[in-house]
């Protein structure tokens, strides 16, 4: 099994489209009769990504409470568990979007340590084309320097860069953007894609499945102080809320709550890494809605009717601001709607924190 398993490591900044691409790749592989599994990763433990992958009926396990680098032993354990229970042909492992230095702390240990039973087949780093263009054009990203440092280091360490969300560019911009990005990174393999469909990820999937793109072999020259301080500027809030909806129309409530949260974060001028929600009605209806910027026109249309006397809402927010402030803004937004609509509600779980300083289990230079 160890020799035949294809293990694809998928890295890249918060909201760059990793989970979306993985889910579509899994759909394509299942159609070809392959067995798949996904390992999600996050600092927290009430995870939208895991819930989303499971909604699609793909087996998912998670490495929670920190990045793969700092939880290398758990990563191997989760992988082992997936292999035993699911017997997958292909596993995708998605690292948390605020993490960098995966070559030295995950790729190399898997390749070089005796006890490692699995070898990665590919290492891809995703980037949102809009952010990459801003960076190349010297337009400030909506984050402070330490976070931009992580964004840059993620790109620097990869050999295979997946420039994602190409569908968001106007047709006439594409050729110019392609040229600009390719000339900025002459030594990388660069794939341009839109990951919203199975067809969109086909080329990437084919390339990584062939195993013909070499793994990166150079460990980053990275300043952990700067990296750790950058990561720690992100406030992390995960919570699971439940609302009672006497009339059974959960959609209106959910739209109002999401809207209120966004307005309140935008009012505070906070840089969004990723704010994502999974909503489920007790009778029917479920959706994932995700914001990586405040400009996401038409997001309400992603929410189908949410039907039932109860709805559950899983919230994962990764936003650049002190976490006490983040919690307060989200609480106030939720409470405003609860009071306005006269809803009964309960909180099923919550975690809020700043990521702790990264301390990799292994780091091979």
Ligand X SMILES: Nc1nc2c(ncn2[C@@H]2O[C@H](COP(=O)(O)OP(=O)(O)O)[C@@H](O)[C@H]2O)c(=O)[nH]1
**Interacting residue ranges for ligand X, rule: CB under 6 A:** 12, 14-20, 97, 126, 164-165, 167-168, 194-196, 274, 290, 292
The answer to whether residue 49 forms part of the interface with Mg ion (CB under 5 A) is yes
Nearest CB to ligand X, comparing residues 186 and 298: 298
Nearer to Mg ion, 14 or 258 (CB): 14
Q: Min. distance of Cβ 310 from Mg ion in angstroms?
A: 26
The residue with tokens 């609509």 is 341
Considering only 43-51, 100-108, 127-135, 314-322, which stretch makes contact with Mg ion by CB under 5 A?
A: 43-51
- Of 14-22, 23-31, 221-229, 250-258, which segment contacts Mg ion by CB under 5 A? 14-22
Q: Does 195 bind Mg ion (CB under 5 A)?
A: no
Smallest gap from residue 4 Cβ to ligand X (A): 27
Contact between 290 and Mg ion by CB under 5 A: the answer reads no
- Least separation in angstroms between CB 141 and ligand X: 16
User: What angle is formed at CA 82 by the lines to CA 81 and CA 85, rounded to 5 degrees?
Assistant: 85
Counting contacts by CB under 5 A, is residue 19 touching Mg ion? yes
SS (H, E, C) the chain: CCCCCEEEEEEECCCCCHHHHHHHHHHHHHHCCCCEEEEEECCCCCCHHHHHHHHCCCCEEEECCCCCHHHHHHHHHHHHHHHHHHCCCEEEEECCCCCCCHHHHHHHHHHHCCCCCCCCCEEEEEEEHHHHHHHHCCCCCCCCHHHHHHHHHHHHHCCEEEEECHHHCCHHHHHHHHHHHHHHCCCCEEEEECCCCHHHHHHHHHHHHHCCCCCCCCCCCCCHHHHHHHHHCEEEEEEEEEEECCCCEHHHHHHHHHHHHHHHHHHCCCEEEEEEEEEEECCECEEEEEECCCCCCCHHHHCCCCECCEEEEEEEEEEECCHHHHHHHHHHHHHHHHHHHCCEEEEEEEEEECCCCCCCCCCCC
Nearer Cβ to ligand X (199/324): 199
User: Segment near Mg ion (CB under 5 A), from 31-39, 45-53, 313-321, 348-356?
Assistant: 45-53
CA count, 13 A, side-chain hemisphere, 197: 4
CB of 85 to ligand X, least distance (A): 24
Smallest gap, in angstroms, from Cβ of residue 339 to ligand X?
29
**Closer of 98 and 116 to Mg ion (Cβ):** 98
Pick what 235 binds: ligand X, Mg ion, none; C-beta below 5 to 8 Å, kind-dependent: none
Q: How far is the CB of 254 from Mg ion (least distance, A)?
A: 21
Q: Is 15 or 230 the residue whose CB approaches ligand X more closely? A: 15
Q: Which CB atom, from 15 or from 250, has the smaller least distance to ligand X? A: 15
Residue whose Cβ sits closest to Mg ion: 19
Rounded least distance, CB 189 to ligand X, Å: 18
Nearer residue to ligand X within complex by CB, 46 or 126 = 126
Q: Which does 292 bind (CB under 5 to 8 A by kind): Mg ion, ligand X, none?
A: ligand X
What is the rounded distance in angstroms from the CA atom of residue 313 to the CA atom of residue 336?
16
Rounded least distance, CB 195 to Mg ion, Å:
11
Edge-first strand listing for the sheet containing 344-353: 286-291, 271-281, 310-320, 234-244, 344-353
Name the residue nearer to ligand X (CB basis): 6 or 274: 274
CB of 48: closest distance to Mg ion in angstroms? 8
Would you tell me how many other CB atoms lie within 10 Å of the CB of residue 332? 12
Q: What is d(CA 240, CA 297) in angstroms, rounded to the nearest whole number?
A: 25
| Binding partner of 195, given ligand X, Mg ion, none, CB within 5-8 angstroms per partner class | ligand X
Closer to Mg ion by Cβ: residue 18 or 108: 18
Residues within the interface to Mg ion (CB under 5 A): 18-19, 49
């Amino acid at each position: 099994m160890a020799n035949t398993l294809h293990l694809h490591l998928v890295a890249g900044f918060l909201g760059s489209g990793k989970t979306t691409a993985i889910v579509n790749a899994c759909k394509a592989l299942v159609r070809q009769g392959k067995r798949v599994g996904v390992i999600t990763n996050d600092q927290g433990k009430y995870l939208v990504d895991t819930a989303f992958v499971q909604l699609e009926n793909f087996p998912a396990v998670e490495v929670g409470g920190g990045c793969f680098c700092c939880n290398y032993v758990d990563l191997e354990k989760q992988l082992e568990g997936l292999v035993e229970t699911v017997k997958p042909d292909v596993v995708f492992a998605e690292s948390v979007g605020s993490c960098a230095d995966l070559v030295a702390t995950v790729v190399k240990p898997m390749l070089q340590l005796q006890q490692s039973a699995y070898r990665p087949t590919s290492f891809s780093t995703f980037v949102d084309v809009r952010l990459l263009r801003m960076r190349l054009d010297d337009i400030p990203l909506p984050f402070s320097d330490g976070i931009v440092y992580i964004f840059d280091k993620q790109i620097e360490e990869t050999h295979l860069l997946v420039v994602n969300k190409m569908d968001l560019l106007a047709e006439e911009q594409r050729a110019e953007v392609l040229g600009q990005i390719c000339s900025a990174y002459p030594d990388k393999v660069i794939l341009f894609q839109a990951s919203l469909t199975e067809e969109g990820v086909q080329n990437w999937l084919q390339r990584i499945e062939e195993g013909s793109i070499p793994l990166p072999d150079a460990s980053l020259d990275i300043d952990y102080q700067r990296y750790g301080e950058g990561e720690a500027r992100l406030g992390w809030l995960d919570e699971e809320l439940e609302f009672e909806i006497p009339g059974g129309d959960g959609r209106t409530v959910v739209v109002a709550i999401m809207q209120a949260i966004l307005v309140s974060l935008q009012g505070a001028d906070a840089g969004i890494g990723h704010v994502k929600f999974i909503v489920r009605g007790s009778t029917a209806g479920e959706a994932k809605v995700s914001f990586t910027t405040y400009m996401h026109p038409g997001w309400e249309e992603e929410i189908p009717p949410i039907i039932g006397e109860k709805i559950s809402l899983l919230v994962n927010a990764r936003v650049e601001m002190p976490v006490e402030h983040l919690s307060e803004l989200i609480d106030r937004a939720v409470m405003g709607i609860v009071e306005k609509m006269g809803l009964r509600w309960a909180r099923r779980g919550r975690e809020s924190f700043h990521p702790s300083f990264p301390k990799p289990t292994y780091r091979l230079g």
